[in-house]
């Protein structure tokens, strides 16, 4: 599947000729940014440095505002940073996002994301253009999603249950991926545009091509499309050993149209298709000679429709979103020979909608914003594997929120959300039983923010979140990898309830050390208790998902940027303690690691800002691993590791751009602590030294 072929060589040659034509077709000119960023601070334009935290994006209140002004743990990854990363997977995008750990197993293109120690089965809500991405299959690292980095315009992360306005279940937080619009790609005055990007990476002999085309019919209608092809062999770890089954072939595409039928009204329709061909194993990294291996084909389709109405009188700021997402994985067994040809599938689909309005008015000395709305989604899961929890899930909610701002020094937020759910399915036992469970709850939020002096803002928040049991929790049967009969369904599961206290500081100053420089910093402390945490009790030979006890998450997150005329410094990090406080696993860390990590990125600009280059340092703290089958056994602490990367982006002229990157410069052998890589593996999971290069050409008129 992930091997060079004549077809691939022809594709590479054709793409190279297209790129050359694009580069020659346009004369050299001044640099023009391909993305549009709203800046709060004065100064030089661009998307590096302080502009990231100044960007207007979604917030925990569902009202758009600058990241630096959000009274919550919010992070933003913009288009320029996405290009500089040369990301192959969504996990690459969150290297420097505080409190967030995204991981892949290497032999599986699905990504699992952890925020502050919480992950799996909807604890972190992941959306793509507003569409929930709900998928799971049984095995290690369940609860995952598929997103193609090349499609993305930006990414916003909201940490903690303060994000509950975005839908049911997200007690860990929300990750919102947004794809490009035609307006992000086309320049002012252009009717059409076309670009071709070619990329290559040395480790695994990986090749990527991305073609974008956009057309503007008039000021009220436009369309954009993007086609991506990626192919690579198995890569090597830092010891020079080939990591088996890590090759893959990826074919992804999307199409989005925008209509503006009247002033203040906008409609967007989108379609995204992702196709992944690879090999997966029953236990990632295991060297067992009898380990099950599968030839896997996974397809993810997302349909979206979005409507916004922004009235000039401030009483209407309305948006509505409808979507359908379906992920289907088909896996044919290729080892051992005794099971050759066995077939299984996983099919998960989510359909839903949401709507909200945010009228604004003034009275009693406050600027008021009242936000109200609701959401609903219907999730179905089906599989012919006995270890999969099939069924239907309905989740619905409504919220009311008031924000008050008095003379830019006092900010108040009071909100209340109602959540309800119902799960219907059939237990995986003999004989099977039809079953249904349901529940509901009100969850409050209160925030106060104070700005004693311009540029310095303090805030404190109490919020609650509510997560229902998942279909996999309730209806699962079978064994760990599809064989055996050690698991039982549990119809008595109670929902998880998160109660969180947060306090933070936002710092925003210009002209600190020199004219035109900018300093932006967000510091956030949190303490979250999760009641009735759901997991499998592996001390019991008859295994089932259960409310195994209460969990506690506490820590500090820091994100700081200093931007000056010829460079920038980005610092980010988190110290997080996430552990069980009661039950059979009392004192054990959640998901095998305390999530302590830090990063520093130093960049410089030259040649009238057409060249940006720099170095990045990433530190991952010690990894604590505990036994779920023998809780009394001593924990095993593995040393952390450090990675150093380098990057350079050169806008050769306005229609030709070169990107170069070197990852893991010192060829460190490591395994991502959040992955489910087998502890008996003969190789490490992480990539060794990798050189990356890409060239993008563009024409338009």
The answer to which of 17-26, 65-74, 499-508, 520-529 has the lowest mean pLDDT is 17-26
Mean pLDDT of 414-427: 95
Contact call for residues 224 and 179 (beta carbons, < 8 A)? no
pLDDT computed for residue 280 by the predictor: 84
Per residue in 518-548, pLDDT tens? 999 999 999 999 999 999 988 888 889 999 9
428 or 473, higher pLDDT: 473
The yes-or-no verdict on residue 219 having pLDDT over 70 is yes
Per the listing, tokens 């090597």 go with: 236
Q: Tell me the residue ranges of DSSP E strands in 311-433.
A: 317-335, 343-357, 360-363, 366-383, 391-406, 410-426
The yes-or-no verdict on residue 512 having pLDDT over 90 is yes
Closest CA to 400 of 459, 351, 445, 440: 445
The yes-or-no verdict on residue 615 having pLDDT over 70 is yes
Residues 559, 674: Cα–Cα separation, whole Å: 21
CATH number at residue 617: 2.40.170.20
Q: CA-based diameter of the chain, in Å?
A: 77
The answer to which of 143-147, 196-200, 274-278, 382-386 has the lowest mean pLDDT is 143-147
pLDDT computed for residue 594 by the predictor: 60
Highest mean pLDDT: which range of 30-39, 347-356, 487-496:
347-356
Mean pLDDT of 397-415: 96
Instruction: Write the CB contacts of 465 (distance below 8 Å, at least 6 apart in sequence).
Output: 160, 161, 163, 164, 170, 171, 443, 497, 498, 500
Is residue 544 domain-resident? yes
Contact call for residues 50 and 518 (beta carbons, < 8 A)? yes
Of the pLDDT bands very low, low, confident and very high (cuts 50, 70, 90), residue 27 is very low
Is residue 1 domain-resident? no
pLDDT computed for residue 138 by the predictor: 65
Per residue in 617-637, pLDDT tens? 999 998 887 888 888 888 878
Per residue in 286-340, pLDDT tens? 767 777 889 999 999 999 999 999 988 899 999 999 999 999 999 999 988 888 9
The answer to which of 163-172, 355-364, 587-596, 684-693 has the lowest mean pLDDT is 587-596
Is residue 278 domain-resident? yes
The yes-or-no verdict on residue 11 having pLDDT over 70 is no
Q: What are phi and psi of 474, to 5 degrees?
A: -85, -45
Is residue 245 domain-resident? yes
The yes-or-no verdict on residue 139 having pLDDT over 60 is no
The answer to which of 112-121, 227-236, 367-376, 459-468 has the lowest mean pLDDT is 112-121
pLDDT computed for residue 593 by the predictor: 64
Is residue 236 domain-resident? yes
Residues 450, 121: Cα–Cα separation, whole Å: 36
pLDDT computed for residue 5 by the predictor: 41
Is residue 671 domain-resident? yes
pLDDT computed for residue 548 by the predictor: 95
CA 674 vs CA 112, 115, 278, 581, 690: distances in Å:
9, 11, 21, 21, 21
pLDDT computed for residue 70 by the predictor: 93
Of the pLDDT bands very low, low, confident and very high (cuts 50, 70, 90), residue 106 is low
State how many domains the chain has: 1
**Assigned token pair, 376:** 């609903």
Of the pLDDT bands very low, low, confident and very high (cuts 50, 70, 90), residue 7 is very low
Is residue 578 domain-resident? yes
The yes-or-no verdict on residue 445 having pLDDT over 90 is yes
Domain of residue 298 covers: 6-696
pLDDT computed for residue 40 by the predictor: 34
**Assigned token pair, 441:** 């709850």
């Amino acid at each position: 599947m992930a091997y060079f072929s004549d077809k691939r060589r022809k594709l590479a040659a054709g793409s190279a000729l297209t790129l050359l034509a694009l580069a020659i077709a346009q004369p050299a000119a001044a640099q023009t940014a391909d993305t549009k960023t709203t800046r709060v601070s004065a100064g030089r334009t661009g998307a590096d440095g302080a502009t990231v935290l100044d960007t207007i994006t979604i917030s925990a209140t569902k009202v758009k505002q600058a990241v630096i002004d959000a009274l919550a743990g919010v992070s933003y990854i913009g288009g320029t940073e996405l290009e500089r990363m040369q990301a192959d997977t969504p996990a690459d995008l969150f290297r420097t996002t505080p409190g967030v750990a995204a991981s892949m197993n290497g032999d599986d293109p699905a990504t699992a994301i952890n925020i502050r120690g919480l992950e799996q089965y909807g604890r972190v809500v992941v959306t793509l253009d507003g569409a929930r991405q709900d998928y799971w299959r049984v095995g290690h690292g369940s609860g995952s999603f598929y997103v193609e980095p090349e499609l993305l315009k930006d990414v916003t992360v909201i940490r903690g249950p303060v994000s509950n306005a975005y839908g049911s279940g997200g007690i860990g937080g929300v990750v919102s991926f947004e794809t490009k619009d035609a307006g992000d790609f086309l320049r002012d005055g252009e009717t059409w545009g076309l670009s071709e990007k070619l990329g290559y990476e040395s480790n695994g002999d990986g090749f990527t091509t991305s073609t974008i085309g956009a057309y503007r019919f008039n000021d009220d209608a436009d369309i954009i499309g993007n086609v991506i092809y990626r192919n690579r062999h198995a890569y090597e770890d830092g010891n020079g050993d080939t990591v088996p089954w890590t090759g893959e072939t990826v074919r992804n595409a999307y199409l989005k149209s925008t209509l503006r039928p009247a002033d203040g009204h906008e409609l967007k329709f989108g379609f995204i298709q992702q196709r992944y061909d690879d090999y997966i194993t029953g236990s990632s990294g295991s060297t067992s000679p009898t380990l099950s291996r599968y030839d896997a084909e996974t397809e993810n389709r997302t349909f979206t429709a979005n409507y916004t109405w922004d009235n000039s009188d401030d009483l209407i700021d309305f948006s509505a979103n409808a979507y359908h997402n379906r992920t289907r994985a088909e896996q044919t067994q290729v080892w051992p020979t005794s099971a050759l040809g066995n077939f299984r599938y996983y099919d998960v689909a989510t359909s839903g909608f949401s709507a909200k309005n945010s009228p604004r008015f003034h009275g009693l000395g406050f600027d008021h914003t009242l936000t109200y709305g609701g959401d609903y989604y219907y999730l179905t899961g089906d599989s012919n594997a006995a270890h999969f929890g099939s069924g239907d899930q309905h989740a619905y909610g409504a919220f009311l929120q008031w924000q008050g701002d008095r003379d830019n020094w006092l900010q108040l937020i009071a909100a209340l959300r109602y959540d309800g759910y119902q799960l219907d399915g059939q237990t995986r036992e003999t004989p099977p039983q039809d079953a249904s469970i349901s529940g509901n709850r009100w969850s409050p939020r209160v925030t106060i923010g104070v700005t004693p002096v311009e540029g310095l803002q303090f805030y404190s928040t109490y919020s609650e979140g509510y997560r229902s049991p998942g279909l996999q929790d309730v209806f699962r049967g079978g064994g760990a990898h599809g064989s055996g009969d050690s698991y039982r369904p549990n119809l008595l599961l109670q929902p998880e309830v998160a109660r969180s206290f947060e306090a933070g500081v936002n710092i925003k100053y210009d002209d600190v050390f020199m004219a035109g420089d900018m300093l932006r910093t967000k510091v956030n402390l949190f303490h979250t208790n999760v009641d009735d945490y759901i997991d499998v009790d592996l001390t019991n030979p008859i295994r089932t998902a259960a409310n195994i006890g209460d969990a506690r998450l506490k820590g500090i997150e820091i994100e700081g940027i200093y931007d000056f005329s010829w460079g920038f410094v980005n610092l980010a990090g988190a110290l997080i303690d996430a552990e069980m406080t009661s039950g059979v696993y009392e004192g054990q860390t959640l998901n095998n690691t305390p999530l302590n990590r830090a990063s520093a990125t130093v960049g410089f600009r030259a040649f009238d800002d057409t060249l940006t280059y720099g170095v990045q340092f990433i530190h991952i703290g010690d990894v604590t691993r505990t036994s779920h089958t023998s809780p009394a056994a001593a924990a095993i602490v593995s040393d952390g590791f450090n990675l150093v990367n380098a990057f350079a982006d050169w806008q050769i002229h306005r229609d030709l751009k070169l990107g170069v990157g070197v990852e893991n410069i010192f060829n460190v052998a490591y395994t991502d602590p959040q992955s489910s890589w087998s502890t008996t593996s003969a190789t490490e999971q992480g990539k060794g030294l990798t050189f990356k290069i890409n060239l993008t050409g563009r024409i338009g008129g």
